[in-house]
Structure 1
Amino acid sequence: MTDIFTLDAELRADLGKGASRRLRHANKVPAILYGEGKEPVSLTLAHNKVFRAQQEEAFYSSVLTLNVDGKPVECLIKDMQRHPFKQVIMHLDFMRINASHALRTNVPVHVINEEDFLKAGATVSRHITEIAISCLPKNLPEFITVDIKDLEIGQTLHLSDVVLPKGVTSDDLAKGEDHDLAVVTVNAAKVQSDDSDTEEEETTEE
C-alpha cells in the first residue's frame, strides 16, 4: 500500500450545504464513512491529498486507510462527486471493510495481447470496462487481466473465459449462465466498398 492510499481525515459536526461550501472554499472535501453495522460518520479531508490519490486508477479498487482523528480505518471508495467543469471533488463516500468479511466491488479490466489483431486491421471491441467481484480484502486485485491472444477473428470472450485471481469470484456469474457477459470481441477488418469507384466510372461513361 502506497502512502497516497493513506489519507488523514477529521470528524466534523458542522453539517449542511452551507458548511460543505465553507469546507470547499478552505480546500477541504466533505465525506461520509459508513458500513460494517456502524453508524455513519461525517468527515473532512484535504482536497489536494484526495485529488492526487484519485488520479491513480488503483485508488478506486484498492483497500484505503483513513486515519480518522489518528485511528486507522480500512475502507473502499464507493462514490465520488465531482464539479461539472472545475477540477474539484465535491464529496466522497467511503465504506468500511472487515478483513474477515467478503466485500463486493468493481475492478477495472486490462486487455492484453491485442497488438497483432490491430496490426492485421482487425478491431477489438470492449463491451465492459469493469467486473463486479466478491473477495476478502486481502485478495482484492487492482485490476483483472484479460488475455485475448488465443481468440480468433469473430470470436467473443465472455466472463466465464476470464481467469480470475485466487480467492476472487464474479458476482455476475454467481447469478447464473444468463449473466455470462461478453467482455471483448475481435472483429474482422472492414472491407472498403467499391461502389463509389463503380459510380464514378458510370458517370464518366455517360
Structure 2
Amino acid sequence: MATTHEIKVERREDEGKGASRRLRHAGKIPAIVYGGDLNPVNIQLDHEPVWLASQNEWFYSSILDLSLGGDVQKVLLRDMQRHPYKQLIMHLDFQRVNENETLRTAVPLHFLNEDKSPAGKSSEVVVMHELTEVTIECLPGNLPEHIAVDLAELSVGDIVHLSDLKLPEGVEIPELKLGKEHDVAVVVAKHGRVDTGEAEGDEAEGEGAEVPASKVSKDDEK
C-alpha cells in the first residue's frame, strides 16, 4: 500500500505577484491545487515544515494528503519553483488524484547490495546507474515510494534492463509497452581500466618501421 503524508494548508484569497511576495515575506508558500472534477484552488503553506518535508524523497513521489480545515484532498506534487540561490521554495503545484483512476508518475530507484556483488567488489569494474528514476503507471493505492533494484548478483558485463525490475503488484512501466527498443539499460557493469600496453607496443612498432632520414641511402635520393 502507498504511504501518505499529511500537509496542512490554508486557502489563499489574494492573487498576483505582489500578494505572493507578501506571503513569502510572511514565511508562507503560494501554491495551487488542480485536477479532478473540482476547480483549481489557490492555497498557501507554512514554509518551514514544507521545506523540511522537501528534503525527503517521499515528498516528490508519494501521495500527499493536503488538509484544509479537516477537508483532505489526495494530491501529487507536480512542480516546485525554488529560489535560484536561497533556501526558499517560491511556488508549488499539486494535482488531485482519484483513487479509482490510474496515474502516471516517476518514482526513484534504490540500488541495493551493490557493494556485495562481484562487480561491486572489483576495483577494475565500474557500475554505472543509467537511470535514477522510472516512470510507472498504477492506481494511487499501489503507488510505491521507490522501486528496489537488488544488485547482489551483478557481475562484470551484466546489464540490468527495465524489464528486469521487480515491480510491486499493480505497477507497470508504460515504456515497455512501446517495444523492445524501449527496454533500456538501468545498470551496466563494465571494465573501467583499459590495458594500453599492447596498443602502446603496436604504436611503438609502427614508429620503428619508419626509416629515419639519416638512414636513407644516396641511391634512394636519386
TM exceeding 0.5: yes
Give the structure 1 partner of residue 91 of structure 2: 91
**CA apart distance, 1:112:** 1.4
Please identify the structure whose Cα radius of gyration is greater: 2
Q: Give the alignment partner of residue 151 of structure 2, picking from 148, 153, 158.
A: 148
Distance in 1 (alpha carbons) for counterparts of 2:68 and 2:113? 43
Q: Does 1:124 align with 2:101?
A: no
Is 1:29 paired with 2:32? Answer: no
Per the alignment, residue 203 of structure 1 pairs with: none
Paired with 2:23 and 2:70, the residues of 1 have a C-alpha distance of 20
For residues 125 and 94 of structure 1, the distance between their equivalents in structure 2, rounded to whole angstroms, comes to 33
TM-superposed CA distance for 1:192, in Å, is 5.7
Match of 1:162 among 162, 165, 183: 165
TM-score, normalisation: structure 1: 0.88
Which one-letter code corresponds to 2:100 in the other structure?
S
Q: Which residue of 2 aligns with 1:181?
A: 184
Note if contact 2:136-2:171 (Cα within 8 Å) is conserved in structure 1. yes
Aligned to 2:69: 69
Q: Secondary structure at the match of 2:78?
A: strand
Secondary structure of 1:178's partner?
helix
The 1-side partners of 2:99 and 2:81 are apart by 27
2:220 aligns with none
RMSD of the TM alignment (CA)? 2.0
Identity of aligned residues (%): 48
**Aligned AA for 1:111?**
F
Distance across 2 between alignment mates of 1:120 and 1:14: 60
Q: Counterparts of 1:82 and 1:98 in 2: how far apart (Å)? A: 28
**Which residue identity does 1:168 align to in structure 2?**
V
Q: Distance in 2 between matches of 1:151 and 1:7?
A: 40
Matches of 1:16 and 1:178, distance apart in 2: 46
Identify the residue that residue 202 of structure 1 maps to in structure 2: none
1:105-146 CA distances to partner (integer Å, 9 max, x unpaired)? 100001112113232111111111111001111111110111
Asked whether the 8 Å contact 2:82–2:90 carries over to 1, the reply is yes
Q: Give the equivalent residue in structure 2 for 1:133.
A: 136
Q: Secondary structure at the match of 1:39?
A: coil
TM, length-normalised to structure 2 = 0.82
Residues paired across the two proteins, number: 196
Answer whether contact 2:175 2:182 (CA < 8 A) is retained. yes
Equivalent residue, structure 1, for 2:218: none
Hey, what does 2:208 align to over in structure 1? none
Q: Is the 8 A contact 1:11 1:69 kept in 2?
A: no
Q: Which ranges in structure 2 are unaligned for 5 or more consecutive residues?
A: 205-222
